[in-house]
Structure 1
């Protein structure tokens, strides 16, 4: 029986201590770290050379420590669409999440750095984006939800539909949402159907309706 190959990861983080900690954590979780770099330019070179399965990148890196990591992530999404990208940020910055989700929404994640300390959550997010899903930090979703309550596009959703949409945005499956809300999967499916209808997301959009619904948060 052939063993499943470990997911290959490139890490981009300018803090040496955090970079080494991420590499150790990933190795212990069963990933293969193929490169670990400290700035956006090195990240692009490493991805071009190694073609990893996943990139984990800090948003802010040298030389200006503004958005170099994010801009490198956007280039990776355009040049190598098969490479999943999970960006890490010290603070909630909704516009970065918006930029990251503006194109193809498959295989992309945005987490706060504090979330790395919750190893299970971090590893789950990595696997989710590698498999083509999305992973948005709950704090980002919470801020978007609070803002959306003052915005017209989502005004028609019920409180329970908002709860379901918030959990969808975090990347939970229907079963996961049912567990979080202590309801049946059938009830979750009805709520999601209601969300799609109220947000005018037709069946023709297929499975991407989940992500499109989250994008309505970001656009609100």
Structure 2
């Protein structure tokens, strides 16, 4: 399973963003989550999923806001799952704690940790995610505007009409934003994460 632990940056001097982050993660991931998001340890948000694409989507969203350091832990979780993520236990939570601690001082504010036996694969997955983050870091406001509208299902023609620009201009913005590269990278990265998420069996008390 994937456990996402996100720690709010500069929480002592900024407003509490946990409630809005919990609501947004729930809205974006919904039933794809194995354990619903909730507050953990004051200024942290936690969620859990069995799906690599969902873990990646949630992590990328939180990092994009600039308000969170995000750790992804990969491993087993004790079964049966509780109703409340705060009651859940297992190696995936320990790995997520390690990951978020490593994410805090890093340039990209995201890290991934798995079991020692899978450390090489986890390091490779983390490196690929950071390449994607570097691509997204270079994206301009106009590029994000096109990316967000495309993610809503709009066509380039519809986006051009919405923004009052030509379809050619939309295409150029998409190209400069690296949207085609990201579109290809995300499913491939999700497959890498799913391969890492080996579950030899449930952990029980």
Larger relative contact order (Cα-Cα within 8 Å, sequence gap ≥ 6): 2
Query: Do these two structures clear the TM 0.5 threshold for a shared fold by scoring above it?
Result: no
**TM-score, normalisation: structure 2:** 0.30
TM-score (norm 1): 0.28
